[in-house]
Structure formats: C-alpha cells, structure tokens
Chain A
C-alpha cells in the first residue's frame, strides 16, 4: 500500500473509528489456546472494554443470538457458545468504564417496544449517554420457538416490524420534554404537569398506549446501529440508522462499493450522505514484520479451523454430513448436493455449490492442499494482516477514500486479543492524523461525530443539512 498525499483524497480529514465486537458464537474466537479466557466471566468483559477504552475506541459491542445454533437438529458443539444478555452485561460495564460507548444487539422481532425501549433508556442513563442499539431482525424462524409469538415473520415483515418498533421506541424516548423533571424538592410536582406525553400507537404490528418512564439522556437517545445486508436492510439503515455494522471491510473495492450504495440510499431519503458511519466487522492480525504477521495468521487459522470445523464448513458447502471424514486427507469425491438449509446455522446461501467445489478441487490439486488447508485458504475469509505501520497506511487510505469510517474489531482471543491493536496500531494511526488522541466528548454520539437524533431535527433543517 503506497502512502497517499492526504490532500489529494476525497476525505483528507476523515477520522477513523474503532469498535470492539466481543463475539458470542462462531469459530473465529479461539477457545483452545492456553491464553483463551472465559467467555462468560465478567472479568473478560471488563478487560476487553477497559482495553478498548484505553485505546480510545468509540464502542464496545455485543451481539445477540436467542437460540443456540444447531446443525441437522443437533446443538452445534464446536464453537464458543453461551453468553450473557447484552443489555444486562452492558449495564454492568457502565459501572466500570467512563467514556466508551456500549452497544447492544437486540432483536426487534422477539422483543416488545415498551420493554426494550425502556431497557435501552436505562442503559443510556446509567452510562450518561453512551448507549447504542444494533437493531437486528433475526435471519431465521426457529428462534421463535423460545418466544410467545413463535417464528412467523417473513423477511419483509421483519423489517416492517423493525421500522414500526423504532417509531414507537423513538416516541417513548422523546416522550419527556427536556427540563420535565423538577429541579428542587419544593417544586409543585416531580415532573412538570403535561411534560410527559403518553404514546398511543395503533399500527399493523403494535397497538399500545403507555406513559414513557424515562427522560432523555445526555445524547438524546441511544445511537441506532443496523446490521443486515439485504436491500431491505440497507434501506432500513438509510431511513433510520446512525451506524451500519457491515460485513464489507476486507477488500477496498468491495467496501467502497458498499459505502457508495449506502450514500446513494441516504440521498434518496433526503439525508446528508455523511449522516451514517460505516463500521464493518473485521479481524486484525499484527506482526513485527510481514513474515511474522503471516506466520501468526497461519497459527490463528489452524486454531480457528480445527479438523472438525473444517469438516463442518465443507459439509455446508457439499450439503453432506462429512463429520466422519479425514480433514487432513483429500477433498470428498462426491458431488455437492444442492439442499435447502433452514438457516439454523446461519449458513450463507451458496449460489451454485458445484461451481465452488470445482474451483476448490482445482486449487487443492494445484497446491496439494488437504481438505482442511483448502477450507482455510478458500473458505470464509476475513481480516487484515500486516505490520502496524502497513495496516495504519492501509486503514488511512480506506477512511480517506470513504470506503469505511472505521472497523468493529473482532478479537480472535478473549480477553487479551485487543492489546496489541491498542498498543501498536492505534499510535500508528494517531501519527497519521486519522485517529483521536483523546476523547473530545462524553457520549457515543459525540465520539461518532453524529448530528442530533433524526427525530430531533426539524423537517426543513433536515432537508437543508445536505
């Protein structure tokens, strides 16, 4: 990566933002190494959050999954699993951190607005304006088996519900006038009469009537994140979100195309095209030299893609149970079966497995790779590998050219996997002028450099802002 002239780029003064994604489930979190810590011990969460805060990160981020993953009707037993309820865990972290944002992934399909909006408000107040909500809708129906409503919503209806959910949540968050709470014990009432507005909502998804229980926080209300990749998901983000947690952060061209797509969608709904921050999830592997970084990557991939995991990933591609095969042997001789997956494993739909398998065969033969080596080389890819200096150049290029606003880092080790990023990469980014040297605000909205919440902008100002 060549260093670019900072003035000859579209966004010469763009700032890079970091979040940390403390992962709940999937094979990218190494659990077998001696320094792999507990996924549930509160000390793990505290360590990661405090390290991120030391590194001046914008946010600490928790995912959500409301049912344990299954493969062929059996609980998937290879990956880290079992995690705390996100908002509950984040409320605890509010007590042991001071500046970092606390973002909860919470489902709009299997929650109710009065309850979730209130829980998020509480987190926002306990953290004095540091809460975020990553609105997800669930990409499967089987999660519904744990809830009253069951799994009935199809894809489009899930986003319709999400949007109506957000409308109700925002009405609740905005239900208290500023200065509604009395400033002295001698006031006529605890809250000024009429300063709290009931929310009466009757729509296709919700029919409710209630008095909001909490005033606004220091940042107005929680920052809205979105993490879905379909057209509906992106439109939902363009209409509603402050931040997108995308999966387009490994390759510059792919990231830029995604960002351009989002900017177009923002303009189409009348929002300024810099109104949304794009923070793809990614993994960062650092080494003192390029060779060392590549060596470390090899070690990490072998820890992540165990023989059983390799057989599992290949099994999804082939559509066949391969768990009794030899991962260190050659690729299966069978042709892949094109089967419908119920999504319980969160599998990506593969357009034509036969084509992919043919490519895998050719490359495996050419390189004399085993099945496991093939999965590592050609299976799901992610992340950035290199020296702190090379990656700082690369990330400065990404952000100055508008491909991303930063990354949501997923450490491969808990709880120490963030240390070298904070100690080695952050100073390099600071040297290049793309990363803050101190927190300049106190709220998550401040950190992200966001405008005031969408609903707080008057209609003309909103149009005018672009």
Chain B
C-alpha cells in the first residue's frame, strides 16, 4: 500500500544524467545553450506537473577534458526560467565552498522575488582541487573543512534573508521615511575564514526563507528544509530517509525508461559505448514507465518526494510527462503544485518567522 502523494523533482541540467546524453538528444550540441532550449525543457517539466526543477552547476565544466561540455550558470538559467514559467519550483545548485556568501544570498533572494516565491537552493560542494585553482583561492580540503564552508555559507545566506523584516519598507510620507531602520539588521557574522556585516541589499524574499535542499551529511540537518538522500536500494533509501532529521526528505532516483523507439536497456547500452553512467550510489531504475510508477509508490511510504535524474532529457521527459506523472496523478499519488502557490507551501512547509523580529518581540516581553 503506497503512502501519501509524492512531490516530484527533476534535474534538467545539460542533456541528461548520462555523460554521453548529448548523443541521443533531439537537438544539435550547440542548441543546448540557446534560450529557446532552456525555456522549452522547463516548460515541459512544468506542464507535466513536477513540483520542482533543479539545475546542476559548479565552476568547472561538466564534461571532462579533452572535450568539455558548456554550461550556463545555474542561477542565471533559473532566473530566466522563472520569468517564463508560473507554477513550478526552481532550485539552482550553488556551491559555497569558494563563492562569496553575500553574493549567493542576494542572487537567491532575487530569484525568489523574480519567481514570486518559487525558489529553492540546492547546496553542494566544490570538491576538486581544480575548483580552488579556478577561483584563485586556497583549497578547502577534507570533508570537514568543506562541510564547515557549506554550513557557514548557508548560515550567512539565511541570516541575510532575515536581515530585512517583512515590513521594513514603510513609505511613510508623514515622516519622509522610506525605510524603518529599526526593522533592518546587521547580521555581524564571524566565521573561521571571513566575516559578513549585512544587512542584505535585497529585501526579504517572498517566502521569508528559500527552501534549502542538500545532502544531510554535508549540511547540518537544522539548516535544511529538504534532505536529498541516496542509496542503491529501497532499504538503503528508507534508512537514510529515517535518519535525515529534516522537515522533508526527497530520494534521488536515476531513470532510464522504455520509449516507443527503444527499450531503456538498449538506450543505456548505446550510451555506455561512449562512457560509463557515473555511479553516485543512487537508486537506479532502468525499465518501463509502469514499473517506475510502482517504484515511486513504494518510495512514497518513506519519503516526501523524489528527485528524478533522467538518462536523456529529450527521451525520458516525454515518457515521464505522458505516462508516469499522469498514472501517479490518476492514483492520487502525485502532489501537483498549484498556480500562485509558493514552493514552501506546496511542500507544506511554514513560512518561517523572522529571527530578528522574533528576537525583538522576546526583548519586549522581558
């Protein structure tokens, strides 16, 4: 017996999750970087009923030398997509290992304004030493140091999102005041390698705080709204989900589906001639759409949502959109976002109180 309705997310970076996915794409390689292509994939995902699209990123090119693949920055793509969609949630991947948390916070807050409260943030890490060379910064090495960088980055971003109270813009003609400076706050963050003063330059995002997604062993559970959990089988995913300790949990699932032209296995085999499908320890479904529907039904007993990583977007997204999501919907297992709803409320998460406003109230009460 399946559990409650599932939220489905889909990763839409590049041509799919297989490194050679571009060889089965329905467009020539150069088209990958056109605005039409970026908007089209997002539109298909939105119309299919996905709750969320994610956009992978990093400072290094996605394909390895000698033939790098190009990639437009995830925040820029997300903002572009936000302006051409109306309902789907949008979460760019932004690592904070080397980035300036002040910029990251502003960019993401802006994305939330632009999308009318549909933005999320998928926190990841720049692990390779080449990333440090690209940034021109001393390398952050070791799991602990990288985790600390992520924790500090998320802490700064979250504090900056609260640094304007919701009603800081007062436009008081009587007193000539545009702002109420009592409702703006310095965050005065001091970490091990940097300090950030604040307040933000962007008013508080519509959701108050964006939905923050990440892997629970990389970012402390207390800082996450949604944990993304992996595992090669159902039991491993169920165990990781139970251990996550976050308000919501999504399972990572890689999918290759049967299409009218070829079976999933044939499609995978075709691409494996060029490169192996990178093993990230995630649950993998290679087979029919119907069997995926069944698997998702199983998963819904353990997680709130699933993030799908299609083998090839141009081939798998149509099957997801014509077969898998409608089948789930029919069985009332698909939680579809409603127009005009924030990502937070779609996920059943509360809009958080502002930490500084809350502090002020406590102060008064004492």
Residues of A within 8 A of B (CB): 31-32, 40-42, 46, 65-68, 74-75, 77-85, 87-89, 91-96, 110-115, 118-119, 121-123, 125-128, 145-148, 150, 176, 181-194, 196, 206-215, 306-309
Contacts and interface: CB of A to CB of B under 8 A. Distances in A.
B116 A91 contact: no
A166 to B, nearest CB: 15
A85 B179 CA distance: 19
Contacts of A147: 100, 102, 194, 196
Nearest to B187: A146
Given A119-B73, A196-B61, 16 more contacts: A42-B116, A77-B177, A82-B201, A88-B75, A91-B75, A92-B83, A122-B72, A126-B38, A145-B195, A147-B102, A147-B194, A148-B100, A183-B29, A188-B67, A190-B68, A209-B130
The 8 closest A-B pairs by CB, nearest first: A189-B67, A210-B134, A308-B176, A208-B136, A84-B110, A122-B76, A145-B197, A95-B83
A190 B79 contact: no
B29 A182 contact: yes
Contacts of A213: 59-61, 68, 70-71
B196 A181 contact: no
B150 to A, nearest CB: 15
A119 B114 CA distance: 17
Interface stretch (B167-175, B209-217, B252-260, B333-341): B167-175
B82 interface: yes
Contacts of B327: none
Given A114-B136, A119-B73, A213-B61, A185 B22 contact: yes
A154 B260 CA distance: 65
Contact of B179 (A42, A75, A113, A193): A75
Contact of A208 (B70, B134, B169): B134
Contacts of A193: 66-67
B80 interface: yes
B340 to A, nearest CB: 15
Q: Give the secondary structure class of A's interface.
A: loop
Interface in B129-166: 130, 133-137, 164
Nearest to A45: B114
B179 A77 contact: yes
Nearest to A95: B83
A126 B68 contact: no
B79 A32 contact: no
Nearest to A309: B176
Nearest to A118: B73
Given A82-B164, A146-B196, A189-B66, A208 B135 contact: yes
B30 interface: yes
Contacts of A306: 176
A412 to B, nearest CB: 15
A22 B245 CA distance: 44
Nearest to B74: A122
A212 B196 CA distance: 29
Contact of A42 (B99, B114, B195): B114
Given A78-B178, A126-B38, A181-B29, A88 B198 contact: no
Nearest to A182: B29
Contact of B35 (A46, A87, A94): A94
Interface in B21-48: 22-25, 28-30, 33-35, 38-39
Nearest to A206: B136
A301 to B, nearest CB: 14
A215 B31 CA distance: 12
